Amino acid sequence: MSADVAGQGGPDEASPSRGAAAGSEPSIPYRVQADARAADLVERYKDLAPQSETGRTVTVAGRLMLRREMGRVAFGTLRDSSGQVQLFAGKAWTDGFDGFTRLSLGDWIAASGEVVTTKTGELSVKVASWQLLAEARRGFGDKWHGISDLDTRYRQRYADLWANEDSRRVLLLRSSLISWIRRWLEGRGFVEVETPVFHPTPGGATAKPFVTHHNALDVDLYLRIAPELYLKRLVVGGFEKVFEVARVFRNEGLSPRHNPEFTMLELYQAYADYTDMMRLTEDLVAGAASELLGTTEITYGGRSLSLAAPWRRATLSELVAEHSGMTLDIDSPISELREAAESVGVQPEPAWGSGKLLLEVYEKTTESELWEPVFVTDYPKEVSPLARDHRCKAGYVERFEAIVAGRELCNAFSELNDPVEQRLRFEAQAAAKAAGDEEAMSVDEDYLRALEYGLPPTGGLGIGIDRLVMLLSDSDAIRDVIAFPTLRPETA
RNA sequence: GCGCCUCUAGCUCAAUGGCAGAGCAACGGACUCUUAAUCCGCAGGUUCUGGGUUCGAAUCCCAGGGGGCGCACCA
């Protein structure tokens, strides 16, 4: 057992092993047969009177969080993934008592003994025997403040997750959310699929891709910026309801709301249009909140917010009028749109048409002001190369974004399924790209070929999972909802 | 990419131009019911790095590095 205890370092300094020579710790077992979890014990015996003995012997395993020595007795706080339980050791009844008192905070141990309560009534495992499972050669920081340095927290997430309850809570919520979404969609007949991460032609969104190279094929490949075009190929192939939880990659700046790799839920439903997608979106988000938080009434950044369906629907032009006082639409004279853009601080580029100008005014004046969930509908065709023409409003497409707490949560449309029209849209994008727009799309000939086989009327939806987790967990940084966020590599 | 802020012991933080400190952790010791146990003792520093100003720099200036925030881009 751990006889001599050396110093214990911290996140920035490891101590040498306190036990055997490096690479060999013969007393450390290969497996542990724990038969109780901390929280279960505390829950099961919460009504026990002080100084009770249950006669039940258990083995618990976890990390030693705190230790209180009193001479010939010692108390420890053991934490496992369920919670915490007190260990009560004494020279009179604990094998290896001296070693127990020399354990470091953070050491993994297994402890066996009777479940009892102490004089003060705290439920404890009265340790008859214990085993060291792993030394903590680095400490987890101040036992009260833990680790709060943001750099350390994100770079050494293993330590942050152990030290900070909130960090664990958020990642557990993320896991529960994705799991729930899968079950919910499968319950509605959706099929989960996987599509390529390597794309010969990046598409499905306007964003700068990462480029990599395949040696054997000697071709450049792009890490996907969206799974959209492949999912719609699957609809062509007969998958009427598909979804993918897709990690996507965009070569853009980092910010509290942007990580270069992030997760999107995309789904496509044949025979549906964007109004179906609105109903699905509000049901999904409100349902997730009810299931995971027990309510649709949430607090984000100190402000209350209701996710209950149905959500407000309003056109982009209506919302711009509400928030900027300017009555603008796609048919407004272009000079008027350009003036409007300039008046709100946008510097229009010569190539921008009225659709782009209108969108810029919206983003500058309106989007961040929208707090309660709202479906912003009817986007300009110019800025929506994959969405189908609006059934009755020229120049617009059947597209919406859901804005919640001032941020885009999802993007959806009635999918453009006419290969001739799609080619025209791609060509306009390719022209913009040739003119210097690094984020514009290319012509994807294979996708056009797929459309030529026939894509039925289809509704499509993309939801930013990271954003949704942020919303549900009241996190203000995307880094908090990603286990290992992208950081500048450490320099030696 | 640009601007602003920030970096002190393993951790959390003081010291604002005049001897680098505290609490916790660690280390030595006391203690048979503690709850961030308590008490006694001991130790711990390239004040992010490199220049400069000054009799004297953690503190002021310049450059670089890490991080945060804002802008831009986007989801």
CA of A97 to C1' of B21 (A): 37
Position A7 scores a pLDDT of 47
- Location of each CATH 3.30.930.10 domain in chain A: 163-311+372-480
Q: Is the peptide bond before A350 cis (omega within 30 degrees of 0)?
A: no
CATH number corresponding to A163-311+372-480: 3.30.930.10
- Tens of pLDDT along chain A (492 residues) come to 232 333 466 777 777 777 644 444 567 899 999 999 999 999 999 999 999 999 999 999 999 999 999 999 999 999 999 999 999 999 999 999 999 999 999 999 999 999 999 999 999 999 999 999 998 888 888 888 888 888 888 888 888 888 888 889 999 999 999 999 999 999 999 999 999 999 999 989 988 899 999 999 999 999 999 999 999 999 999 999 999 999 999 988 888 889 999 999 999 999 999 999 999 999 999 999 999 999 999 999 888 999 999 999 999 999 999 998 889 999 999 999 998 988 888 888 888 889 999 999 999 889 988 999 999 999 999 999 999 999 999 999 999 999 999 999 999 999 999 999 999 999 999 988 888 788 888 999 999 999 999 999 999 999 999 999 999 999 989 999 999 888 887 764
Nucleotide nearest to A411 (CA to C1'): B75
Alpha-carbon span A277 to A287, nearest angstrom = 15
Position A277 scores a pLDDT of 97
Which residue is associated with the tokens 């300009």? Answer: A380
CA of A444 to C1' of B50 (A): 52
Position A4 scores a pLDDT of 30
Nucleotide nearest to A408 (CA to C1'): B75
Nucleotide nearest to A120 (CA to C1'): B33
**Residue whose CA lies closest to nucleotide B23 C1':** A142
Q: What ipTM score was computed for the predicted complex, to two decimals? A: 0.88
Alpha-carbon span A94 to A215, nearest angstrom = 62
A208: Cβ contacts below 8 Å, ≥ 6 apart: A225, A250, A251, A252, A438, A439
Give strand B nucleotides closer than 7 A to any protein Cβ: 1, 10-13, 23-28, 30-38, 65-75
| Tokens at A248, concatenated | 């996507």
Q: Which helix (H) or strand (E) holds A134?
A: strand A123-134
Position A22 scores a pLDDT of 45
CA of A430 to C1' of B38 (A): 74
**Residue whose CA lies closest to nucleotide B29 C1':** A71
Nucleotide nearest to A226 (CA to C1'): B75
**Residue whose CA lies closest to nucleotide B43 C1':** A7
Q: What's the burial of A395, exposed, middle or buried (CB within 10 Å: 0-12/13-18/19+)?
A: middle
Position A401 scores a pLDDT of 95
Kindly report the pTM of this predicted structure: 0.92
Nucleotide nearest to A10 (CA to C1'): B10
CA of A163 to C1' of B51 (A): 40
CA of A105 to C1' of B25 (A): 9
CA of A148 to C1' of B35 (A): 23
CATH number corresponding to A3-145: 2.40.50.140
Alpha-helical regions (H) of A397-476: 419-434, 445-453, 465-473
CA of A481 to C1' of B74 (A): 18
- Location of each CATH 2.40.50.140 domain in chain A: 3-145
CA of A149 to C1' of B4 (A): 20
Whether residue A38 contacts residue A60, with contact meaning beta carbons closer than 8 Å, is answered with yes
Nucleotide nearest to A86 (CA to C1'): B35
CA distances from A335 to A15, A327, A373, A382 (A): 69, 14, 32, 17
Closest by CA to A87, choosing from A97, A76, A99, A98, is: A76
